Structure 1
Amino acid sequence: MPHPVIVRGKRQFWDKEDKGKKLPIIKTDPAYLAAADQVNRINAYMAPQQITGCKHDGFIRIFNHGDQPGFAYNMGGRLYSKASGVSYQNMEKHHRNDMRINGEPVVELDLRASFLTILYAQRGIAPDPLIDPYTFGPIPREVIKAWIAMTLGYDRFHSNWSDETVAKLLEDEGINLREKYPIDTVRAAVIDEHPILQGWPNSTVRWQNLQYLESSAIIDAVEALGSRRGITALPLHDALLVQRSNIDMASEVLASTFRERMGVSPVFKIKDRWPKKRR
């Protein structure tokens, strides 16, 4: 692919419509060349693989906040699937039941609470595999997860639930956030459980830093699985889609690349079925 890396300007992570302005690239920059070479190696391995039940025409890597101080291809940086239509990353989740890699059904290997795990890792604290960081007290897990996701995508504490989050929780879980779970109440409960988030409004770490670390671990795993082990792994933001027969090796490799970047081992969730949304 002639242009496998894109750099965009500052954007708001929580605003799905804000993609950031596309910026020019100095193509002699060693950091650009390293990123582009890695994407091209991944695309070269992926090209002959049989990926069915979805659209996928190769990857590009998109970095964010390229117009901000300190940018050195170290902000954002996820792999995005290019497709002549809706890619596997953007299609409705239940359609992934029909996906096949080289004729075999896929399994989704998720990094559990990825951004929160990275924040703790920066303090030298590893996740406890027996404790779900989103499950505590009387507040539903999905509400706690939604508040943490909103918060870590912003630079301060929200004063209200976003319309998008309200709509998603109502559609997916039948939960009326604004009626049953005032955001101030949820914030207090989460910070009591995770005091590491108390200073978030003044933190020097932001979503683009967390996403770079996460995406680098994911991309390193995709390349290591493909080029060294002949295993096709499709990145899905904070997860990998792999053949069911390869889930153990994919877990081992992603744990290794995550540990190399963060210094701690992650906890995984494995999905092999994707139900339709609530109606």
Structure 2
Amino acid sequence: MDTLEIPGLDLVQDRDDDERERRFNPYRYAQEPAAKQLIGNALECLAQLEAQSGIKRNKRRPHDQQTYELTVDAILSDLAYDRLIERGCGVFITRSKQLLSRSNRYRPRVWTKMLPDIVDALADQRVGLVVQELGWQSKDRGSKASVLRAGRALIDAIKLLDLDLTDFGERPADETIILKRPTDPEDYWDEGGRIHYEDTDITRAFRDELRAVNAWLSSADISFSSSVQTRTGNLVDDRDRQLLRIFNLGRFDRGGRLFGGFWQPLSKQERFEGIKIDGERIVELDYGQAGTRIVYGLAGRQPPEGDLYSIPGYLPHRDGIKRVMSAMLFATKEIERFPRNTKKLFRKEEFIRDVIQAISNKHPDISNCFFRGIGHEAQFVESTILLRILKDLREVGVTALPIHDAILVPASSIDKAREVMKDAFLSIAGVEASVSVERGSVGCLPVG
């Protein structure tokens, strides 16, 4: 496997979060006639600018012209979408032609060295479709990506053409199976860059499996109520359903969780209030202590009865125990201090070594699994279980939205979903599952 890192490509969106400016989505496009008219008018305006300025003297080759038009479409469609979603904060991109010209499996077609020139043309005051805030790099202050926002001409065109979110679509990502390198333990912000890999029967099978899931979800009866106010104040596009599968540590048996979909960044309350599947309110079925149970399975042991995070002497500190134990499973060497933001979950006089010893005493059968990085392997097992669940539910006609170790299903499908979840967990992890169901304001009820 070629582990050459592909810098800059994490600007292609892996996940939705609450950052002010989001990553430029190179797959957005004008889908309906009114939006296509916007792009057509923009291309005519750019052609006039080129003629007046002598920017482009030679006719582009057909393939290059098509890429040029797709790039204009993607930029303006994504900025119009950003405006319509009631953000208006803009999107950030890279202008590095060195990065944009590198060929690799993740690069979208519009990710070419002509991108900065097209942005500059759209931002020209004679065009006015884009407002551009140039990024910078500094040895002392780090770096900031360039940010694009809708210009006055684009804002006026959105109003004149009466555009809304449904006028824009999103093409499938060129690559849905993502491989990332290990993170730098000395860099808190390092998320692990994407690295190149050669396809094998395994990666092709992963891709086919995920394509089937994405196709299923894209045609399912799933909606989000426009009357629900989100914590960010943004509209929710319930057509955003494409998932990516992201593997870690440069291995296809580590990580593998599913990311994407409009439902994942929502709060629980927003999901319960706004999402309907097949016209029904949803419930959330969640595995309890999934990672720890999976580790017991990997060790060939059965977990003890009861709450695995209930530790004698630390009963009021369950959340802290859970987070420290997770750190013990993902770390590759013994931790010497409380993980970030966990000290406050314990008494001031507590020492991390005592907490570690108490956890080890509670779980002697897997104590040799701590500080070996087995958490990444457990996460791969978890993701395999979730994909099995999605496949089995699809076969019995139940639509489900995945959230790592949980699923959202119609309220009438609790029994089917619970049975499928328990069967999949036992079959793949080798231990019994603990499953709970949450019904929004009704609360969380154990279901076995």
For the aligned pair, the TM-score class normalised by the smaller chain equals 0.7 to 0.9
Q: Structure 1: which amino acid aligns with 2:319?
A: E
- Preserved contact between residue 134 and residue 144 of structure 1 (Cα < 8 Å): yes
CA distance in 1, matches of 2:302, 2:441: 29
1:234 corresponds, among 401, 404, 407, to 401
Distance verdict in 2 for CA 1:268–1:199, change over 3 Å? same
Deviates more, 1:40-49 or 1:183-192: 183-192
CA distance in 1, matches of 2:426, 2:188: 30
SS of the residue aligned with 1:120? helix
- Preserved contact between residue 301 and residue 365 of structure 2 (Cα < 8 Å): no
Distance verdict in 2 for CA 1:136–1:20, change over 3 Å? same
1:80 corresponds, among 250, 253, 259, to 259
Runs of 4+ in 1 over 4 A off after TM superposition: none
Provide, for residues 145-186 of structure 1, a one-character-per-residue CA deviation record: whole Å limited to 9, x for no partner.
1211222222233222233335xxx6xxxx4x3625432222
Deviates more, 1:247-256 or 1:116-125: 116-125
The answer to whether residue 177 in structure 2 is matched with residue 5 in structure 1 is: yes
Query: Residue 122 of structure 1 corresponds to which residue in structure 2?
Result: 298
CA distance in 1, matches of 2:413, 2:184: 36
The answer to whether residue 363 in structure 2 is matched with residue 191 in structure 1 is: no
SS of the residue aligned with 2:198? coil
- Preserved contact between residue 96 and residue 274 of structure 1 (Cα < 8 Å): no
- Preserved contact between residue 114 and residue 238 of structure 1 (Cα < 8 Å): yes
- Listed as ranges, the gaps of 5+ residues in structure 1 are none
RMSD (Å), alpha carbons? 2.6
1:206 corresponds, among 374, 382, 387, to 374
Alpha-carbon distance, 1:250 to partner:
1.0
Q: Structure 2: which amino acid aligns with 1:108?
A: E
- Preserved contact between residue 156 and residue 200 of structure 1 (Cα < 8 Å): no
CA distance in 2, matches of 1:273, 1:16: 34
CA distance in 1, matches of 2:371, 2:323: 21
Alpha-carbon distance, 1:202 to partner:
5.9
Provide, for residues 38-84 of structure 1, a one-character-per-residue CA deviation record: whole Å limited to 9, x for no partner.
00001111112233335533111111122xxxx3x2111111114xx
CA distance in 2, matches of 1:143, 1:219: 30
Normalization by structure 1: what TM-score? Answer: 0.81
Provide, for residues 229-256 of structure 1, a one-character-per-residue CA deviation record: whole Å limited to 9, x for no partner.
1111111111111111111111111222
SS of the residue aligned with 1:115? helix
- Preserved contact between residue 233 and residue 240 of structure 1 (Cα < 8 Å): yes
CA distance in 1, matches of 2:334, 2:347: 16
Query: Residue 129 of structure 2 corresponds to which residue in structure 1?
Result: none
Larger radius of gyration: 2
Deviates more, 1:210-219 or 1:47-56: 47-56
Residues 245-260 of structure 1 aligned to structure 2 (within 5 Å): 245-260=412-427
Normalization by structure 2: what TM-score? Answer: 0.52
Deviates more, 1:178-187 or 1:250-259: 178-187
CA distance in 1, matches of 2:326, 2:259: 20
Query: Residue 64 of structure 1 corresponds to which residue in structure 2?
Result: 248
- Matched-pair identity in %: 27
The answer to whether residue 207 in structure 2 is matched with residue 36 in structure 1 is: yes
- Preserved contact between residue 328 and residue 370 of structure 2 (Cα < 8 Å): no
Q: Structure 1: which amino acid aligns with 2:348?
A: E
Larger RCO (alpha carbons 8 Å, 6+ apart): 1
SS of the residue aligned with 2:388? helix
CA distance in 2, matches of 1:245, 1:144: 35
The answer to whether residue 286 in structure 2 is matched with residue 110 in structure 1 is: yes
Query: Residue 190 of structure 2 corresponds to which residue in structure 1?
Result: 18
The answer to whether residue 219 in structure 2 is matched with residue 48 in structure 1 is: yes
Provide, for residues 71-128 of structure 1, a one-character-per-residue CA deviation record: whole Å limited to 9, x for no partner.
3x2111111114xxxx422223332222222222222211111111112113333345
Residues 125-144 of structure 1 aligned to structure 2 (within 5 Å): 125-127=301-303, 131-139=306-314, 140=316, 141-144=318-321
SS of the residue aligned with 1:156? coil
Alpha-carbon distance, 1:258 to partner:
1.7
